Amino acid sequence: MNGLIMSILVDEKSRVVVQGITGREGAFHTRQMIDYGTAVAAGVTPGKGGQTAEGVPVFNTVQEAVDKEGVNVSCIFVPPPFASDAIMEAADAGLGVIVCITEGIPVLDSVKVAAFLRRRNSVLIGPNCPGIISPGKTKVGIMPGPIHRRGGIGVISRSGTLTYEVVEQLSKVGLGQSTCIGIGGDPIIGTTFIDHLQRFKEDPETEGVVLIGEIGGTAEEEAAKYIEKEFPKPVIAFIAGQTAPPGRRMGHAGAIISGGEGKAEDKIKALQAAEIAVVLYLPNLGKTALDVMKRT
Amino acid sequence: MKLHEYQAKEIFRKSGIPTPNGELVTEVDQTTKAIQNVKGPPWVVKAQVHAGGRGKGGGVQLAHSPDQVVSSVQSMLGKPLVTKQTGPGGVIMHQVLIEEGIDIDREFYLSMIIDRAVAMPAMIFSQAGGMEIEEVASRSPELILKEHADPATGWMPYQGRKLVYKLDSPLSPEASRALMAIMANVVKLFMSHDCSLLEINPLVTTMDGKVVALDAKLNIDDNSLYRHKELHALDDPREKEPLEVEAEKYDINYIRLDGNIGAMVNGAGLAMATMDVIKLAGAEPANFLDVGGGASQEMVTKGIEIILKDPRVKAILINIFGGILRCDVLARGLLEAAKHTEIRAPLIVRLEGTNVEEGREILRNSGLKFLVAKDLAEAAELVAKQVS
């Protein structure tokens, strides 16, 4: 947990370095982050140190960005072959939070990253994620800012655009968000549902949590057990992939039903057994969340 | 990416994992020569298809004479094989593997997977080989042993000892050593080839004390293919739906399903959820199609074209929540598709997110007939209306 409880993980004091700032996506989303109000203090592209991109100074290494600009959060847009190196560089430079947007990192690279991070104090969000936003304070990622509203719902999701859909529904029914975290669609990711549930439990601003899972793995089942035993705030859940065929990788590298494990049905059952409100028909999510929050 | 058994076994042999000798046959004429090169009788004739459950479907046949081998090969090549994984139409058997029959003493199960929960590769070993491991797992989980390969150290010899010396009845010293060597080689192969799954079921000991991989399943992590050109070349597009092969060329995630509502969505989670919504609204999705978070205009164009090539499609739902993919890019991609392809099915469009106003503006001024839904609920209703 590293004592990181601040609305959670990021806030207006976060100073962000964008790794891969001179790439097409890196540049576009740096601009979007700055427009949202995020303090993007530096960019890193090896070999382009000394330039500026989107009005932000570019450095050759993350360490330089730390030394000269005091950055403490990274947002990574580096292509898959170089992304695991970029994550390790950010962790080595001591950044507290590393958000890796990159999709397509080989899973054995992520195995090495996970081993590396066990000996460091960084929290990795992603890879293959939309990032993290604390509405009205800062956004570190690629989610469309205007759909969010400041409020009391924490959102944790394995997906990107599905999270936007959910957030929009929440905002429309008047449920703002304290922090929304995309934990990533890869089989190996830096943080789990439980890591963030623990943070939301301690965060006074968060009154309830929306958990968005999908087929593959058993993270939702584990979250259900944790919630039942230790999480006092209301939780609303949605699981994508009720109609997904087994054995097929559904877009996300981690979204695959294999060896009878990872079915939406089992996840929904586990969540319901823990008395969590599970939304089956996505268009109903906002309304259901409102009902659940009103009851408590 | 899945490899065929014969491809996996070739990699096994190069990696120090013994397999039976065998020869691949793609024409019936090649059979006689193949039999001369492979020890027998008996021989085993195995259909080379990606689908599992081959044995029960008649895709694995034992032959006691050269004539029987020929008739087995004849009964397979060019014919469909139906297993519980193929659907009722089955898959065509384009090639068969003729292998020497092995005198089996004991059967084991050995596999390597990525254990997501601990972020490490894990070896799964069981003395209950030859049956479906899911069945063993549910009936007698104590027979399934798991050992992780730490990326810092790799596989250590003690881990092999831990597994092999735990067997209820001990193996001969030679077989124990051979099995431990195979375990170490499995881990090396798994790491060096960026596997997502390696499975040997059964791994057998023979009457003369050898350890041999009788079957072989090898999946390569798609994300790693950029650094394994030699493995990528082993991909067999005949095993996939033609539209899936075409989608792959453009980096589009497309999976054919059984319904008649085409769907194009950006992002895997939203694409799955959109399929679920279509189903719950009373219709059936014809496909999963994720143009990806960062789709280009060309990908959007190709995506629509691919959906329209499916003759079953009666209506199309486009559900885009702009993030990396901006709504204006989506809209331009749609217009481009309409220039080249007749949009023969009603098109329901739901746009939201980054540059949504610009995207909607482009669609409004296009002169094309779209049914624009204001949100997902309305989109689902419109879809259901089109097919009811």
Kindly list the domain boundaries of chain B, sorted by start residue: 1-20+103-239, 21-101, 241-387
- What is the mean pLDDT, run by run of 10 residues, along chain A of 296 residues? 56 95 94 96 98 97 98 97 98 97 97 96 96 96 94 96 95 97 96 97 96 96 97 98 90 82 95 97 97 92
Cβ proximity of A207 and A185 under 8 Å: no
pLDDT of residue B241 exceeding 70: yes
Cα angle for residues A182, A249, B270 (degrees, 5° grid): 45
- Chain A, residues 233-272, CB within 8 A of chain B, namely 238, 240-245, 247-255, 258-260
A173 in contact with B at a CB cutoff of 8 Å?
no
Cβ proximity of A46 and A15 under 8 Å: no
Burial of B317 (0-12, 13-18, 19+ CB in 10 A): buried
B115 in contact with A at a CB cutoff of 8 Å?
no
Which pLDDT score is estimated for A72? 97
Q: CA-CA distance, B265 to B70, in Å (whole number)?
A: 49
Q: Which two tokens stand for residue A6?
A: 């601040």
> Are A160 and B133 inside 8 Å of each other by CB?
no
Residue A76's alpha-carbon distances to A35, A140, A183, A215, B61, in angstroms, are: 18, 10, 14, 26, 53
Question: Domain B241-387 falls in which CATH fold?
Answer: Rossmann fold (3.40.50)
B208 in contact with A at a CB cutoff of 8 Å?
no
Domain with CATH 3.40.50.720 in chain A: 15-125
> Are A280 and B280 inside 8 Å of each other by CB?
yes
- pLDDT band per the 50, 70, 90 thresholds, residue B18: very high
Residues making up chain B, counted from first to last: 388
- Which residues share a beta bridge with B267? none
- Chain B, residues 243-262, CB within 8 A of chain A, namely 253, 255, 257
- pLDDT band per the 50, 70, 90 thresholds, residue B202: very high
Q: CA-CA distance, B218 to B224, in Å (whole number)?
A: 14
Which pLDDT score is estimated for B296? 84
Which pLDDT score is estimated for A211? 98
Residue B326's alpha-carbon distances to A143, A161, B198, in angstroms, are: 11, 12, 39
CA–centroid distance for B190 within its chain: 17
Nearest-CA neighbor of B370 among B358, B360, B380?
Answer: B360
Q: Which two tokens stand for residue A8?
A: 């959670």
Question: Domain B21-101 falls in which CATH fold?
Answer: Dna Ligase; domain 1 (3.30.1490)
- Characterise B88 by phi-psi region: left (phi > 0), alpha (psi -120 to 50), beta (else): alpha
Q: CA-CA distance, B160 to B151, in Å (whole number)?
A: 16
Q: CA-CA distance, A158 to A223, in Å (whole number)?
A: 13
Which pLDDT score is estimated for A7? 59
B199 is catalytic: yes
Which pLDDT score is estimated for A251? 84
Cα atoms found within 13 Å of the Cα of residue B305, Cβ hemisphere only: 18
Which pLDDT score is estimated for A3? 42
Give CATH for domain A15-125.
3.40.50.720
Which pLDDT score is estimated for A6? 44
User: How confident is the model over B144-154, as pLDDT tens digits?
Assistant: 999 999 999 99
Q: CA-CA distance, B275 to B227, in Å (whole number)?
A: 33
- pLDDT band per the 50, 70, 90 thresholds, residue B162: very high
Q: Which two tokens stand for residue A274?
A: 């823990």
Which pLDDT score is estimated for A86? 98
Burial of B298 (0-12, 13-18, 19+ CB in 10 A): middle
pLDDT, chain B, mean: 93
Cβ proximity of A165 and B321 under 8 Å: yes
Percentage of chain B modeled with pLDDT above 70: 99
Q: Mean pLDDT throughout B91-107?
A: 97
Residue A295's alpha-carbon distances to A72, A208, B61, in angstroms, are: 39, 12, 63
A52 in contact with B at a CB cutoff of 8 Å?
no
User: How confident is the model over B301-345, as pLDDT tens digits?
Assistant: 999 999 999 999 999 999 999 877 788 988 999 899 888 888 889
Class of domain B1-20+103-239: alpha beta
Cβ proximity of B49 and B81 under 8 Å: yes
Q: Mean pLDDT throughout B220-237?
A: 97
User: How confident is the model over B20-79, as pLDDT tens digits?
Assistant: 999 999 999 999 999 999 999 999 999 999 998 898 889 999 999 999 999 999 999 999
Residues making up chain A, counted from first to last: 296
pTM of the model: 0.93
Nearest-CA residue of chain A relative to B137?
A259
Q: CA-CA distance, A178 to A200, in Å (whole number)?
A: 9
> Are A160 and B272 inside 8 Å of each other by CB?
no
Neighbours of B67 (CB within 10 A): 10
Q: Which two tokens stand for residue A7?
A: 């609305």
Question: Domain A143-295 falls in which CATH fold?
Answer: Rossmann fold (3.40.50)
Which pLDDT score is estimated for A2? 41
Helix (H, G, I), strand (E, B) or coil at B211: strand
Which pLDDT score is estimated for B322? 83
